[in-house]
Amino acid sequence: MNDSTTGSDSIQVQLKKGALELCVLALLSRKESYAYEISSTLAEAVGMGESTIYPLMRRMQKEGLVQFRLAETSTGPSRKYYTLTHAGRRRFEKQRSEWTNFMTAVNGIVGDSQ
């Protein structure tokens, strides 16, 4: 609200902040998951580093986009399983459409060049 989030609608912000956040939101919209798994998936897909995910998850939690529960495993330390909140789902839809717009704009400039 009101968050003076700097005018968060600028596409520029989406470019930097959005693409990774968008991917995390997309993954969580399908099933709950934990940071390590998300980062492994996104490491392959878009080259995300592991040390990027933890600050990102905390930021998203702080913004109320995700929540988590702890779960034990038989394969190592316990996991924090994250799920989207309502706000997270809304954010996902918003980011997705902004991504589409951005992509279209860039493709319009790039693809056009004969």
Partner DNA sequence: CAAGGTACCTTGCATTACAAGGTAAGTTGG
Partner DNA sequence: CCAACTTACCTTGTAATGCAAGGTACCTTG
Provide the binding-site residues for DNA, judged by CB under 7 A. Answer: 5-7, 10, 12-13, 15-17, 20, 34-37, 47-52, 54-59, 72-80
Residue type, 22: L
Binding partner selected for residue 75 from DNA, a copy of itself, none, CB under the kind-specific 5 to 8 Å limit? DNA
* Minimal distance, residue 46 CB to DNA, in Å: 8
**Residue 67 backbone dihedrals phi, psi, to 5 degrees:** -135, 165
Count of other CB atoms within 10 angstroms of residue 32:
17
Binding partner selected for residue 110 from DNA, a copy of itself, none, CB under the kind-specific 5 to 8 Å limit? a copy of itself
Q: Which DSSP helix (H) or strand (E) runs through 71?
A: strand 66-71
Q: Which is nearer to a copy of itself, 22 or 79 (CB)?
A: 22
Beta bridge partners of 64: none
Q: Which is nearer to DNA, 40 or 114 (CB)?
A: 40
Confirm if 83 and 35 have CB atoms less than 8 A apart. Answer: no
Q: Which is nearer to a copy of itself, 15 or 71 (CB)?
A: 15
